[in-house]
Amino acid sequence: MPVGESNYISFLKIIYRGKIRLVPYLTPMKAKLIVHGGAWNIPESLEAAHLAGVRRAAQEAGALLAQGASALDTVEAAVNILEADSTFDAGRGAFLNERGEIELDAMIMDGRDLRFGAVAAVQNILHPVSLARRVMAHTEHCFLVGGGAQDFARKAGIAEVDPRELLTERERVYYEQIRHDPDFHTRLPFDDHPMDTVGAVALDGAGNLAAATSTGGTPRKLAGRVGDSPVVGAGAYADNHCGAVSATGWGESILKVLLSKTVCDLMATHSASEAARQGIERLARRVNGLGGVIGIDRHGEYAFAYNTPKMAFAYLRAPGEVVVSIKR
C-alpha cells in the first residue's frame, strides 16, 4: 500500500524466536517519465518524426532521471529537447502569429510546494521553459509576459537567438498559405497541419512530481494571444498529493475547464487512467473542446487520453525501455 508522498510499504519475512514475522519497511518510489509532442491530426508523413522526437526526449531525460535527477530537472530537460526539435510547435519550429512573428509560452511546476514559473509572448528564445524556471527560482513572481519577460531573460543570462533560428521553411510556407484566408480558424482538428505543443511529467525517486509545457501557440494567432500552456491548472499542474499533468490541444477550450487541474483533482479519487479519460470527456462535453493530456498520479500510475485523431507521446516502462504511441 502507498504511504506518505514518496515511499511504499513492503514486508520482510523474518523468523524471530521460532515464529515467522512480517516486518514493514519503506521502499523508494520508482521514477517515472512521460512526454508528449502534441495532440492534433498529425499527417502520416510526419508521424515518424514525431515518434522519434518524443522517444529521444524520453530516453535522454529518462537517463538523467535514472541517475538521480529531480522530477523538476527532468521535465525541464525533456521539454528542452522537444523545444530544440523543429518537428514541434515549441521553440524551433513554432507557428507564426498574424504579424509573421514567433511568440512563445511555457510553464513549469513543482509538486512539492506548488511553486510554478510561467512566461508568455516571449520572442527569440529557444528554451522558454528554462526562462519559466528562472522566474520560479529567482523572482518573487510566478508569471512574466512580453517585454518584461524579455528584460528578465537578459538579466538572467538567457541568450536571445536570431529569429531565423526558430523559423522553419515549413512554417513560413504554411503562414503564407493561411495569412489572408478568411475561412481559417484555429479549431481545425482535421487540418493537415499539426498543433504541436510539447510537455513532460515526471515522478522522481523521492516521490516528487513535476510538470512542464511549452508552445508556440496557434497559427496566425493575434499578436499577444496567450493560450492554455503557460496558465497554471490549464496547460500543466503538479501536486504531490494527487498527481501531475501536462495538456495539449485547442488552448481556448482547455482554459475554460482548467484541464490539467481537473485531471489532477480526479486523480485523488480515481485511477490515473480514469481521471484522464473523465477530464477529456469533460473538455468535449462542456466546451466542445479538443485536446489531450499526459500525467502521473502520486502512486506512479501513468495517464494519457485524447479526443483528437492522434497524440504523440512516449513513456518509460522500465529503465532504458521507452514506449511510444501516436494513435489508438
Judge whether 315 and 32 are in contact, CB under 8 Å. Answer: yes
Judge whether 227 and 118 are in contact, CB under 8 Å. Answer: no
User: How many Å apart are CA 165 and CA 215, to the nearest integer?
Assistant: 16
* 50: region left, alpha or beta (phi > 0 left; psi from -120 to 50 alpha): alpha
**Residue with the three cell numbers 489508438:** 328
Interior angle at CA 245, CA 243 and CA 246, nearest 5: 165
The amino acid that residue 73 corresponds to is: D
Active site residue 197: yes
Q: What is the largest CA-CA distance in the chain?
A: 85
Of 273, 275, 237, which is closest to residue 255 (Cα–Cα)? 237
Judge whether 131 and 160 are in contact, CB under 8 Å. Answer: no
Of 274, 316, 310, which is closest to residue 34 (Cα–Cα)? 316
Q: Where are the beta strands (DSSP E) in the chain?
A: 2-3, 7-16, 19-28, 32-40, 104-110, 116-122, 143-145, 198-203, 209-215, 236-239, 243-249, 291-297, 302-306, 310-318, 321-325
In eight-state DSSP terms, residue 185 is: -
User: How many Å apart are CA 279 and CA 266, to the nearest integer?
Assistant: 8
What residues have CB less than 8 Å from 127, skipping those under 6 apart? Answer: 79, 80, 83, 84, 91, 158
- Active-site hit among 74, 87, 197, 248: 197
Give catalytic residue positions: 197
